[in-house]
């Protein structure tokens, strides 16, 4: 078991009151499997990912990453856990305009103080794995939207995470390119044995999921996969 959320409750300040974004949510994501998270806008999907990413501390409940319970860890310990264990792919690629595709990935290794030559070869191998071997030296403006999103995914894998959290990676892409990104995520999940959580609006993506979690008003309901 690689990512476990136990009884998570998260509230945000809301005027005089508090808004309950996640209400006693439990979820287990084994390595090598993909859980799709669906639900209406405002239902709590991104909040769920932010808690799983340890970017937000919930009011109650526990996040366990790779056997490590994150409750009580210091900010520094959480940051290290994120760098080593968690890959995060946001909706917008957030690539640095002046860096080539390979350099976007190498930056991740530099933060860790890894050997630059090893980082370069790992970056090139990952770009190859996402089908961008011939785009390694292109900058973001020289890449298509789908290619930028694939660089984004490769970057999230640079430190070999066990947990891969992906928020609406296809919303800026047309259907065909979106489907290709989902295929890629499914393949990488199996090849690299990541515990993957994919937030998506597109119901056609659900066939790629091992499990489907539907979020409604902060409550999570597990559904059988569409097969």
Ligand X SMILES: Nc1ncnc2c1ncn2[C@@H]1O[C@H](COP(=O)(O)OP(=O)(O)OP(=O)(O)O)[C@@H](O)[C@H]1O
Query: Contact with ligand X (CB under 6 A): which of 45, 150, 192, 205?
Result: 45
| Shortest distance (Å) from residue 217 CB to ligand X | 9
Whole-number Å distance between alpha carbons of 125 and 226: 33
User: CA 47, 52, 56 angle in degrees (round to 5)?
Assistant: 60
Query: Contact with ligand X (CB under 6 A): which of 5, 34, 39, 211?
Result: 39
Q: Choosing among ligand X, Mg ion, none, which partner's interface includes residue 41 (Cβ < 5 to 8 Å by kind)?
A: ligand X
DSSP string across 73-89: --HHHHHHHHHHHEEEE
Query: Contact with ligand X (CB under 6 A): which of 1, 12, 79, 121?
Result: 12
Burial class (CB in 10 A: 0-12, 13-18, 19+), 1: exposed
Joined together, the tokens standing for residue 81 give 């856990």
4 part of the interface to ligand X, by CB under 6 A? no
Strand order in the sheet with 68-69: 17-29, 3-14, 60-65, 68-69
46 part of the interface to Mg ion, by CB under 5 A? yes
| Shortest distance (Å) from residue 93 CB to Mg ion | 16
Q: Choosing among Mg ion, ligand X, none, which partner's interface includes residue 39 (Cβ < 5 to 8 Å by kind)?
A: ligand X
Residue 85: name the closest of 115, 63, 53 by CA. Answer: 53
| Shortest distance (Å) from residue 54 CB to Mg ion | 17
**What pairs with residue 69 in β-bridges?**
64
Q: Which long-range contacts (C-beta less than 8 Å, at least 24 apart) are formed by 178-182?
A: 178/202, 178/205, 179/204, 179/205, 180/146, 181/146, 181/149, 181/150, 181/153, 182/208
- Phi (first) and psi of residue 163, to 5 degrees: -115, 130
Chain residues 46-105 in contact with ligand X, contact rule CB under 6 A: 46-47
Q: Which stretch binds Mg ion (CB under 5 A): 20-28, 43-51, 98-106, 205-213?
A: 43-51
The nearer residue to Mg ion, 161 or 169, going by C-beta atoms, is 169
The nearer residue to Mg ion, 51 or 109, going by C-beta atoms, is 51
Q: Which stretch binds Mg ion (CB under 5 A): 6-14, 44-52, 92-100, 172-180?
A: 44-52
Query: Which parts of this chain interact with Mg ion (CB under 5 A)?
Result: 46
Query: Which parts of this chain interact with ligand X (CB under 6 A)?
Result: 12, 19, 21, 39, 41-47
């Amino acid at each position: 078991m690689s990512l476990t959320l136990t009884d998570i409750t998260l509230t945000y300040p809301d005027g005089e009151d508090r808004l309950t974004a996640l209400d006693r949510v439990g979820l287990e994501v084994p390595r090598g499997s993909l859980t799709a998270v669906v639900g209406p806008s405002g239902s709590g999907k991104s909040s769920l990912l932010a808690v799983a990413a340890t970017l937000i501390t919930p009011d109650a409940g526990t996040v366990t990453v790779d056997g490590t319970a994150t409750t009580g860890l210091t900010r520094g310990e959480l940051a290290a856990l994120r760098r080593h264990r968690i890959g995060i792919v946001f909706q917008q690629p957030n690539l640095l305009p002046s860096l080539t595709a390979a350099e976007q990935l190498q930056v991740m290794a530099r933060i860790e103080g890894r050997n630059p030559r090893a980082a370069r070869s790992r970056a090139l191998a990952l770009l190859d794995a996402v089908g961008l071997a011939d785009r390694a030296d292109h900058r973001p403006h020289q890449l298509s939207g789908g290619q930028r999103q694939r660089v984004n995914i490769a970057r999230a894998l640079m430190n070999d995470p066990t947990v891969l959290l992906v928020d609406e990676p296809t919303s800026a892409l047309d259907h065909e390119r979106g489907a290709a990104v989902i295929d890629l995520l499914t393949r990488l999940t199996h090849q690299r044995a990541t515990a993957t959580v994919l937030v998506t609006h597109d119901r056609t993506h659900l066939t790629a999921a091992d499990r489907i979690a539907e979020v409604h008003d902060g409550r999570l309901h597990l559904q059988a996969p569409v097969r």
